[in-house]
Protein backbone atom coordinates (compact mmCIF):
# COMPACT_ATOMS: atom_id res chain seq x y z
CA UNK A 1 0.00 0.00 0.00
CA UNK A 2 1.34 3.43 -0.96
CA UNK A 3 1.96 5.69 2.04
CA UNK A 4 -0.20 8.76 2.29
CA UNK A 5 1.96 11.81 1.52
CA UNK A 6 2.29 14.44 4.18
CA UNK A 7 0.22 17.31 2.80
CA UNK A 8 1.48 20.57 4.32
CA UNK A 9 -0.03 24.04 3.98
CA UNK A 10 3.23 26.00 3.51
CA UNK A 11 4.84 25.11 0.18
CA UNK A 12 8.47 24.00 0.29
CA UNK A 13 9.69 26.83 -1.93
CA UNK A 14 8.73 29.37 0.75
CA UNK A 15 10.60 27.51 3.47
CA UNK A 16 13.63 27.06 1.21
CA UNK A 17 13.69 30.79 0.52
CA UNK A 18 13.54 31.53 4.25
CA UNK A 19 16.18 28.94 5.06
CA UNK A 20 18.64 30.59 2.65
CA UNK A 21 18.31 34.05 4.19
CA UNK A 22 21.54 35.63 5.44
CA UNK A 23 19.85 38.77 6.79
CA UNK A 24 20.68 38.94 10.52
CA UNK A 25 17.28 40.49 11.19
CA UNK A 26 15.65 37.20 10.21
CA UNK A 27 18.22 34.80 11.61
CA UNK A 28 15.65 33.15 13.90
CA UNK A 29 13.18 32.70 11.04
CA UNK A 30 15.87 31.24 8.78
CA UNK A 31 16.90 28.73 11.43
CA UNK A 32 13.27 27.80 12.08
CA UNK A 33 12.72 27.25 8.34
CA UNK A 34 15.79 25.00 8.15
CA UNK A 35 14.56 22.92 11.07
CA UNK A 36 11.06 22.77 9.59
CA UNK A 37 12.39 21.46 6.28
CA UNK A 38 14.38 18.79 8.11
CA UNK A 39 11.27 17.72 10.04
CA UNK A 40 9.31 17.18 6.85
CA UNK A 41 10.46 13.58 6.60
CA UNK A 42 8.60 10.81 4.77
CA UNK A 43 5.34 9.79 6.34
CA UNK A 44 6.56 6.27 7.05
CA UNK A 45 9.07 7.70 9.55
CA UNK A 46 6.37 9.75 11.21
CA UNK A 47 4.19 6.67 11.59
CA UNK A 48 7.02 4.81 13.27
CA UNK A 49 6.28 6.92 16.36
CA UNK A 50 3.88 5.45 18.91
CA UNK A 51 0.18 6.00 18.37
CA UNK A 52 -2.54 5.35 20.94
CA UNK A 53 -5.16 2.70 20.19
CA UNK A 54 -8.12 4.02 18.19
CA UNK A 55 -10.69 5.75 20.35
CA UNK A 56 -14.01 3.96 20.45
CA UNK A 57 -17.51 4.99 21.39
CA UNK A 58 -18.88 4.18 24.82
CA UNK A 59 -20.19 0.66 25.19
CA UNK A 60 -23.93 0.34 25.05
CA UNK A 61 -24.47 3.48 22.99
CA UNK A 62 -25.57 3.49 19.37
CA UNK A 63 -23.67 6.08 17.38
CA UNK A 64 -25.83 8.69 15.66
CA UNK A 65 -24.76 9.43 12.10
CA UNK A 66 -23.34 12.93 11.82
CA UNK A 67 -22.26 13.14 15.46
CA UNK A 68 -18.86 14.77 15.88
CA UNK A 69 -16.06 13.29 17.99
CA UNK A 70 -13.02 15.55 18.48
CA UNK A 71 -9.75 15.27 20.39
CA UNK A 72 -6.90 17.78 20.56
CA UNK A 73 -3.49 16.69 21.84
CA UNK A 74 -0.61 18.84 23.08
CA UNK A 75 2.76 17.75 21.66
CA UNK A 76 4.50 20.16 24.10
CA UNK A 77 7.21 21.03 21.58
CA UNK A 78 8.13 17.42 20.87
CA UNK A 79 7.87 15.63 17.53
CA UNK A 80 6.11 12.45 18.58
CA UNK A 81 2.44 12.13 17.74
CA UNK A 82 -0.25 12.48 18.81
CA UNK A 83 1.36 14.24 21.79
CA UNK A 84 2.03 13.94 25.48
CA UNK A 85 -1.28 15.32 26.74
CA UNK A 86 -4.91 15.01 25.71
CA UNK A 87 -5.73 18.70 26.03
CA UNK A 88 -9.40 18.73 25.01
CA UNK A 89 -11.87 16.04 24.04
CA UNK A 90 -15.44 16.20 22.73
CA UNK A 91 -17.67 18.14 25.09
CA UNK A 92 -14.86 19.40 27.31
CA UNK A 93 -14.88 23.15 28.10
CA UNK A 94 -12.48 25.60 26.50
CA UNK A 95 -8.96 25.74 27.89
CA UNK A 96 -6.56 28.61 28.53
CA UNK A 97 -4.54 27.59 25.46
CA UNK A 98 -5.74 29.42 22.30
CA UNK A 99 -4.11 26.87 19.99
CA UNK A 100 -6.09 24.03 21.60
CA UNK A 101 -9.36 25.95 21.34
CA UNK A 102 -8.73 27.11 17.77
CA UNK A 103 -7.96 23.56 16.66
CA UNK A 104 -11.02 22.19 18.46
CA UNK A 105 -13.33 24.82 16.98
CA UNK A 106 -11.80 24.45 13.51
CA UNK A 107 -12.41 20.71 13.54
CA UNK A 108 -16.01 21.48 14.43
CA UNK A 109 -16.54 24.04 11.69
CA UNK A 110 -15.07 21.70 9.07
CA UNK A 111 -17.29 18.85 10.24
CA UNK A 112 -20.28 21.20 10.15
CA UNK A 113 -19.73 22.18 6.52
CA UNK A 114 -19.35 18.62 5.28
CA UNK A 115 -22.26 17.27 7.32
CA UNK A 116 -24.84 20.06 7.00
CA UNK A 117 -24.18 20.88 3.35
CA UNK A 118 -23.13 17.52 1.86
CA UNK A 119 -24.32 14.97 4.47
CA UNK A 120 -20.80 13.62 4.78
CA UNK A 121 -20.30 11.89 8.12
CA UNK A 122 -16.77 13.09 8.98
CA UNK A 123 -13.65 12.63 6.87
CA UNK A 124 -14.31 9.04 5.83
CA UNK A 125 -18.14 9.32 5.78
CA UNK A 126 -18.19 6.69 8.53
CA UNK A 127 -17.89 8.89 11.58
CA UNK A 128 -14.10 8.97 11.80
CA UNK A 129 -12.99 10.76 15.01
CA UNK A 130 -11.33 14.09 14.24
CA UNK A 131 -7.95 14.47 15.92
CA UNK A 132 -5.41 17.25 16.02
CA UNK A 133 -2.05 17.83 17.65
CA UNK A 134 -0.86 21.34 18.54
CA UNK A 135 2.54 22.71 19.62
CA UNK A 136 4.35 20.23 17.37
CA UNK A 137 8.11 20.73 17.38
CA UNK A 138 9.90 23.93 18.31
CA UNK A 139 8.97 26.91 16.14
CA UNK A 140 7.71 24.52 13.46
CA UNK A 141 6.66 26.56 10.41
CA UNK A 142 3.87 24.40 9.02
CA UNK A 143 0.67 22.45 9.51
CA UNK A 144 -0.10 19.15 7.83
CA UNK A 145 -2.44 16.18 7.48
CA UNK A 146 -0.54 12.94 8.06
CA UNK A 147 -3.23 10.52 6.94
CA UNK A 148 -4.69 10.22 10.45
CA UNK A 149 -4.73 13.64 12.09
CA UNK A 150 -4.06 17.36 11.81
CA UNK A 151 -0.71 18.59 13.12
CA UNK A 152 0.02 22.26 13.86
CA UNK A 153 3.27 24.10 14.50
CA UNK A 154 3.54 27.33 16.46
CA UNK A 155 5.43 29.26 13.79
CA UNK A 156 8.71 31.11 14.27
CA UNK A 157 7.15 34.35 15.51
CA UNK A 158 9.01 36.47 12.92
CA UNK A 159 7.43 35.37 9.65
CA UNK A 160 4.76 32.89 10.73
CA UNK A 161 2.26 33.00 13.57
CA UNK A 162 0.77 29.84 15.08
CA UNK A 163 -0.97 27.78 12.41
CA UNK A 164 -4.23 27.23 14.28
CA UNK A 165 -5.07 30.91 13.75
CA UNK A 166 -6.39 30.31 10.25
CA UNK A 167 -9.65 28.41 9.82
CA UNK A 168 -8.90 27.97 6.11
CA UNK A 169 -5.74 26.05 7.07
CA UNK A 170 -7.74 23.63 9.22
CA UNK A 171 -10.40 23.14 6.56
CA UNK A 172 -7.72 22.77 3.89
CA UNK A 173 -5.81 20.06 5.71
CA UNK A 174 -8.89 18.06 6.73
CA UNK A 175 -10.05 18.12 3.12
CA UNK A 176 -6.85 16.26 2.23
CA UNK A 177 -8.35 13.53 4.40
CA UNK A 178 -11.62 13.63 2.44
CA UNK A 179 -9.66 13.37 -0.82
CA UNK A 180 -7.65 10.49 0.65
CA UNK A 181 -10.88 8.58 1.38
CA UNK A 182 -12.51 9.33 -1.98
CA UNK A 183 -10.61 10.04 -5.22
CA UNK A 184 -7.21 9.52 -3.53
CA UNK A 185 -5.54 11.73 -6.12
CA UNK A 186 -1.85 11.26 -6.78
CA UNK A 187 0.12 14.00 -5.05
CA UNK A 188 2.27 15.10 -7.97
CA UNK A 189 1.96 17.16 -11.12
CA UNK A 190 -1.49 18.26 -12.23
CA UNK A 191 -3.34 15.66 -10.16
CA UNK A 192 -1.44 16.92 -7.11
CA UNK A 193 -2.36 20.50 -7.99
CA UNK A 194 -6.01 19.44 -8.24
CA UNK A 195 -5.59 17.79 -4.83
CA UNK A 196 -4.22 21.03 -3.38
CA UNK A 197 -6.91 23.10 -5.08
CA UNK A 198 -9.71 20.94 -3.68
CA UNK A 199 -8.31 21.57 -0.21
CA UNK A 200 -8.17 25.30 -0.86
CA UNK A 201 -11.73 25.27 -2.19
CA UNK A 202 -13.24 23.50 0.79
CA UNK A 203 -10.93 25.28 3.24
CA UNK A 204 -12.32 28.56 1.96
CA UNK A 205 -15.87 27.21 2.08
CA UNK A 206 -15.41 26.16 5.72
CA UNK A 207 -14.50 29.75 6.61
CA UNK A 208 -17.32 31.24 4.53
CA UNK A 209 -19.88 28.82 5.96
CA UNK A 210 -18.77 29.52 9.54
CA UNK A 211 -18.97 33.29 9.01
CA UNK A 212 -22.15 33.22 6.92
CA UNK A 213 -20.34 35.02 4.10
CA UNK A 214 -21.58 35.10 0.54
CA UNK A 215 -19.28 35.03 -2.46
CA UNK A 216 -19.00 38.81 -2.64
CA UNK A 217 -18.15 39.23 1.07
CA UNK A 218 -15.59 36.43 1.35
CA UNK A 219 -11.86 37.15 1.25
CA UNK A 220 -10.98 34.03 -0.80
CA UNK A 221 -7.63 34.01 0.99
CA UNK A 222 -5.95 30.81 2.17
CA UNK A 223 -3.94 31.19 5.35
CA UNK A 224 -5.00 34.71 6.22
CA UNK A 225 -3.47 35.66 9.57
CA UNK A 226 -0.50 33.31 9.31
CA UNK A 227 1.99 36.05 8.46
CA UNK A 228 3.23 38.36 11.19
CA UNK A 229 3.12 42.13 10.74
CA UNK A 230 6.75 41.98 9.56
CA UNK A 231 5.59 40.45 6.25
CA UNK A 232 4.10 42.40 3.36
CA UNK A 233 1.35 39.95 2.52
CA UNK A 234 -2.20 38.95 3.27
CA UNK A 235 -2.05 35.17 3.10
CA UNK A 236 -0.37 32.17 1.50
CA UNK A 237 -2.67 32.17 -1.53
CA UNK A 238 -5.54 34.07 -3.10
CA UNK A 239 -8.24 32.17 -4.96
CA UNK A 240 -9.76 35.33 -6.38
CA UNK A 241 -6.45 36.58 -7.74
CA UNK A 242 -3.68 33.95 -7.68
CA UNK A 243 -0.25 35.58 -7.64
CA UNK A 244 -1.25 38.52 -5.42
CA UNK A 245 -1.32 37.06 -1.89
CA UNK A 246 2.06 38.49 -0.90
CA UNK A 247 4.89 40.63 -2.27
CA UNK A 248 7.64 40.85 0.31
CA UNK A 249 11.36 41.59 0.35
CA UNK A 250 11.99 38.42 2.37
CA UNK A 251 9.46 35.99 0.88
CA UNK A 252 9.45 37.38 -2.64
CA UNK A 253 6.32 37.63 -4.77
CA UNK A 254 3.51 35.09 -4.78
CA UNK A 255 4.40 32.91 -7.82
CA UNK A 256 1.02 31.29 -8.48
CA UNK A 257 -0.33 31.51 -12.05
CA UNK A 258 -4.00 32.28 -12.60
CA UNK A 259 -4.34 30.60 -16.01
CA UNK A 260 -2.68 28.02 -18.25
CA UNK A 261 -0.81 30.87 -19.94
CA UNK A 262 1.38 31.04 -16.83
CA UNK A 263 1.55 27.30 -16.11
CA UNK A 264 4.83 26.39 -14.35
CA UNK A 265 6.55 23.24 -15.57
CA UNK A 266 8.83 22.18 -12.71
CA UNK A 267 10.09 19.18 -10.78
CA UNK A 268 10.10 21.15 -7.54
CA UNK A 269 7.14 21.14 -5.16
CA UNK A 270 6.10 17.63 -6.31
CA UNK A 271 5.75 18.98 -9.82
CA UNK A 272 4.26 22.33 -8.83
CA UNK A 273 1.32 21.14 -6.70
CA UNK A 274 1.15 24.37 -4.66
CA UNK A 275 2.10 26.56 -7.60
CA UNK A 276 -0.27 25.47 -10.37
CA UNK A 277 -3.21 24.94 -8.00
CA UNK A 278 -3.88 28.63 -8.61
CA UNK A 279 -5.38 27.71 -11.99
CA UNK A 280 -8.24 25.43 -10.74
CA UNK A 281 -8.60 27.74 -7.70
CA UNK A 282 -9.33 30.65 -10.01
CA UNK A 283 -11.80 28.52 -11.98
CA UNK A 284 -13.79 27.72 -8.84
CA UNK A 285 -13.87 31.37 -7.80
CA UNK A 286 -15.15 32.35 -11.25
CA UNK A 287 -17.98 29.81 -10.97
CA UNK A 288 -18.92 31.20 -7.56
CA UNK A 289 -18.73 34.77 -8.84
CA UNK A 290 -20.95 33.99 -11.82
CA UNK A 291 -23.61 32.27 -9.72
CA UNK A 292 -23.51 34.64 -6.74
CA UNK A 293 -25.00 33.85 -3.35
CA UNK A 294 -23.27 31.29 -1.16
CA UNK A 295 -20.35 29.47 -2.72
CA UNK A 296 -20.94 26.38 -0.57
CA UNK A 297 -24.27 25.83 -2.32
CA UNK A 298 -24.21 25.17 -6.10
CA UNK A 299 -20.45 25.64 -6.74
CA UNK A 300 -19.45 23.66 -3.66
CA UNK A 301 -21.96 20.93 -4.47
CA UNK A 302 -20.58 20.55 -7.99
CA UNK A 303 -17.01 20.26 -6.73
CA UNK A 304 -18.08 17.85 -3.97
CA UNK A 305 -19.96 15.69 -6.48
CA UNK A 306 -16.87 15.65 -8.67
CA UNK A 307 -14.58 14.63 -5.80
CA UNK A 308 -16.83 11.88 -4.47
CA UNK A 309 -18.51 10.64 -7.65
CA UNK A 310 -16.02 7.86 -8.36
CA UNK A 311 -15.12 9.09 -11.85
CA UNK A 312 -11.76 10.78 -11.19
CA UNK A 313 -8.60 8.91 -12.10
CA UNK A 314 -5.83 9.12 -9.49
CA UNK A 315 -3.64 10.85 -12.05
CA UNK A 316 -6.30 13.15 -13.50
CA UNK A 317 -4.97 16.24 -15.25
CA UNK A 318 -6.54 19.70 -15.33
CA UNK A 319 -8.47 19.03 -18.52
CA UNK A 320 -9.89 15.80 -17.11
CA UNK A 321 -10.89 17.51 -13.88
CA UNK A 322 -12.50 20.35 -15.81
CA UNK A 323 -14.56 17.88 -17.84
CA UNK A 324 -15.55 16.05 -14.66
CA UNK A 325 -16.85 19.24 -13.03
CA UNK A 326 -18.82 20.08 -16.14
CA UNK A 327 -20.34 16.59 -16.16
CA UNK A 328 -21.21 16.90 -12.46
CA UNK A 329 -22.91 20.24 -13.10
CA UNK A 330 -24.93 18.76 -15.95
CA UNK A 331 -25.95 15.73 -13.87
CA UNK A 332 -27.15 17.77 -10.90
CA UNK A 333 -28.50 20.91 -12.57
CA UNK A 334 -28.99 20.05 -16.25
CA UNK A 335 -26.94 20.57 -19.40
CA UNK A 336 -28.78 23.82 -20.17
CA UNK A 337 -28.53 25.23 -16.65
CA UNK A 338 -26.76 28.42 -15.63
CA UNK A 339 -24.63 26.30 -13.30
CA UNK A 340 -23.37 24.21 -16.22
CA UNK A 341 -22.70 27.33 -18.26
CA UNK A 342 -20.82 28.95 -15.38
CA UNK A 343 -18.52 25.94 -15.02
CA UNK A 344 -17.71 25.77 -18.72
CA UNK A 345 -17.10 29.53 -18.90
CA UNK A 346 -14.79 29.50 -15.87
CA UNK A 347 -12.55 26.80 -17.30
CA UNK A 348 -12.49 28.62 -20.63
CA UNK A 349 -11.33 31.81 -18.90
CA UNK A 350 -8.37 30.04 -17.26
CA UNK A 351 -7.29 28.56 -20.59
CA UNK A 352 -8.89 25.13 -20.60
CA UNK A 353 -11.85 25.74 -22.87
CA UNK A 354 -10.34 23.95 -25.85
CA UNK A 355 -9.49 20.97 -23.67
CA UNK A 356 -13.14 20.71 -22.69
CA UNK A 357 -14.27 20.79 -26.28
CA UNK A 358 -11.63 18.27 -27.37
CA UNK A 359 -12.46 15.98 -24.47
CA UNK A 360 -16.17 16.09 -25.17
CA UNK A 361 -15.60 15.28 -28.85
CA UNK A 362 -13.45 12.29 -27.97
CA UNK A 363 -15.93 10.79 -25.49
Buried b (16+ CB within 10 A) or exposed e, 109-147: bbbebbbebbebbbbebebebbbbbbbbbebbbbbbbbb
Q: Which of 176, 209, 274, 340 is catalytic?
A: 274
**209 noted as active-site residue:** no
In angstroms, the CA 326 to CA 310 distance is 15
Q: DSSP assignment, residue 8?
A: E
DSSP labels, 208-231: HHHHT--TTT---EESTT-B-TTS
In angstroms, the CA 274 to CA 4 distance is 17
**1: Cβ contacts below 8 Å, ≥ 6 apart:** none
Q: DSSP assignment, residue 2?
A: P
Q: Which of 102, 131, 148, 173 is catalytic?
A: 173
Buried b (16+ CB within 10 A) or exposed e, 69-83: bbbbbbbeeeeebbb
In angstroms, the CA 42 to CA 225 distance is 28
Check: CB of residue 115 under 8 Å from CB of residue 121: yes
**175: Cβ contacts below 8 Å, ≥ 6 apart:** 110, 198, 199, 201, 202, 203
Helix residue ranges per DSSP H, the chain: 12-19, 27-39, 43-46, 98-118, 167-180, 189-211, 268-272, 278-291, 298-308, 318-333, 338-349, 353-362
**31 noted as active-site residue:** no
Check: CB of residue 199 under 8 Å from CB of residue 185: no
Please enumerate, as own/partner, the contacts of 261-265 that have beta carbons within 8 Å and a separation of 24 or more: 261/351
The catalytic residue positions are 173, 274
Amino acid sequence: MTATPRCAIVPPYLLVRLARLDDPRFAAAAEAARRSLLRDVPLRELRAAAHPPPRTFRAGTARERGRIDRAVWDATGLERLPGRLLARSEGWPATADPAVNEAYDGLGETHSLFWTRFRRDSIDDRGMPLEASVHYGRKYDNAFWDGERMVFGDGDGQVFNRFTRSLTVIGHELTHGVTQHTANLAYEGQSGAVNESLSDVFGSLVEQHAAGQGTAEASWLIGEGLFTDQVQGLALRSMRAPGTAYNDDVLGKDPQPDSMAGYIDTEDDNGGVHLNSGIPNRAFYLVAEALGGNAWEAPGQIWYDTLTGGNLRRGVDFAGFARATQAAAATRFGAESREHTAVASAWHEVGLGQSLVAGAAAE
